[in-house]
């Protein structure tokens, strides 16, 4: 799988997880906010792919995990690109 299709796959997984979690920045209509938010998600995924791709073993694939965390009582997204068994 080339990097572009891998990036698209992980991006779609992340968006699906955000929608399922009811993330308002995804589910509410506000195109300027949505675009910058989605660009940030894509950027984090691309950086994660660049960091993890060379570490992959033959029996592993990349996946995305999205969590909401609190930092100084403010909600933040934690987006991880992780290696999982095929």
Distance CA 50, CA 76 (A): 22
Alpha helices in 1-86 (DSSP H): 3-20, 24-27, 31-52
Distance CA 39, CA 31 (A): 12
Distance CA 13, CA 73 (A): 27
The tens digit of pLDDT for each residue in 30-60 reads 666 677 888 899 999 999 999 999 999 999 9
Model-level pTM? 0.79
Average pLDDT, the chain: 86
Distance CA 1, CA 35 (A): 26
pLDDT reported for residue 27: 60
The tens digit of pLDDT for each residue in 9-18 reads 999 999 888 8
Boundaries of domain holding 20:
3-85
Q: How many domains does the chain have?
A: 1
The tens digit of pLDDT for each residue in 1-38 reads 676 799 999 999 998 888 887 777 666 666 666 778 88
In the chain, what is the greatest distance between 2 CA atoms, to the nearest angstrom?
Answer: 42
Q: Which residues pair with residue 62 across a beta bridge?
A: 83
């Amino acid at each position: 799988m080339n990097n572009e299709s891998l990036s698209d796959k992980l991006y779609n997984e992340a968006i699906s997880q955000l929608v399922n979690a009811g993330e308002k920045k995804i589910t509410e209509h506000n195109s300027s906010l949505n675009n910058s938010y989605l660009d940030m998600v894509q950027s984090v995924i691309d950086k994660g792919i660049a960091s993890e791709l060379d570490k992959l073993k033959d029996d592993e694939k990349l996946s995305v995990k999205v969590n909401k965390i609190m930092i100084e009582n403010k909600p933040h997204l934690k987006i991880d690109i992780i290696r999982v068994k095929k």
